[in-house]
Amino acid sequence: MSKVLINGISSGYVSVTDRGLHYGDGVFETIACVGNHPLFIRQHLDRMESGARKLKIPFPDRQLFLDDINCLLRGSSSNSIVKLILTRGYGKRGYRYETTQIPTRICILSAWPGYVAHWREHGITTRFCQTQVSTNHQLAGIKSLNRLDSVLASSELGQAFNEGFLSDIDGNVIEGTMSNIFIASNDALVTPDLTRCGVNGIMREQIIDIAHNNSIKVETRNISRDELLESSEIFISNSVIGACVVKQLEHQFYNTDNMTKTINKILDKRIEADAKAAA
């Protein structure tokens, strides 16, 4: 199942002059959908608009995105994934852009990934990747179309690993190829500092908010590879899987998932409430 709208019109093609294709000049969001409801849509659009603003890409009326999503989800009763893409639009050759360019709006509906249930139930195997996260203060936190770090890191996983962890130039672990990272220790959570690089995930924000509302201490700071290996419980998060425990990192195995289960129980209630609020 895959349906595509480009600027609200059913199509599978963009112009070869689109700057998203040439330079990764744009932003995107990946949104989990329950039936015909996109979860945490306000938060996704907030982050997307913030990223577009930093890149100086005009952000369309939100209702256009909502109309695209509703069109693709109409009549849906199963879980699915919606990906929103906003590029700077079509342009002339060269890096400089014209302020009069009209952005390209893309909305893609895809089937729910089959691995999610298995990962949630059994946990995942992970490794450290040799590929580093690119460090650029101006781009930190932006979910831009340039995801080459994750592309290269994912190529290191092979068949043995579900996810890989990327570090910055100083050796601090920053994020997974498609996830954020948490350590659970002594009824507290530790997550990497993303000031210089990395993407602040929507689910990461939800988990931090859950922790604050349930008297769980949260530390945001640098994390070394050794600290991860020596931890008693690690989990990852993203908008599709929620929170998923790490069962193996390199040759280290972990048997504790108490915090992960606690977080997921509250997350599931939030998801249910979010869906009901939109009904």
> Are 245 and 141 within one domain?
yes
Express each pLDDT in 113-145 by its tens digit.
999 999 999 999 999 999 999 998 888 889 999
What is the domain-level CATH number for residue 144? 3.20.10.10
> Are 82 and 201 within one domain?
no
> Are 53 and 171 within one domain?
no
> Are 260 and 142 within one domain?
yes
Q: Domain limits at 13?
A: 2-112
> Are 174 and 105 within one domain?
no
Can you tell me the distance from the alpha carbon of 60 to that of 26, in angstroms, rounded to the nearest whole number? Answer: 13
Can you tell me the distance from the alpha carbon of 244 to that of 163, in angstroms, rounded to the nearest whole number? Answer: 11
**Residue-level pLDDT at 157:** 97
> Are 132 and 221 within one domain?
yes
> Are 84 and 104 within one domain?
yes
Q: At which of 43, 78, 112 does a domain end?
A: 112
> Are 191 and 132 within one domain?
yes
Give the residues across from 188 on adjacent strands.
Answer: 185, 217
CB 178 within 8 A of CB 150: yes
CB 149 within 8 A of CB 167: no
**Residue-level pLDDT at 163:** 98
Q: Report CA 192 to chain centroid distance, whole Å.
A: 15
Question: For the chain (length 279 residues), average pLDDT per consecutive 10?
Answer: 90 93 96 94 96 96 97 91 97 90 96 95 97 90 93 96 97 97 92 94 96 95 96 96 97 94 94 79
Q: At which of 55, 83, 112 does a domain end?
A: 112
Can you tell me the distance from the alpha carbon of 259 to that of 238, in angstroms, rounded to the nearest whole number? Answer: 16
> Are 139 and 226 within one domain?
yes
Q: What is the pTM of this model?
A: 0.94
Q: Report CA 126 to chain centroid distance, whole Å.
A: 17
> Are 80 and 139 within one domain?
no
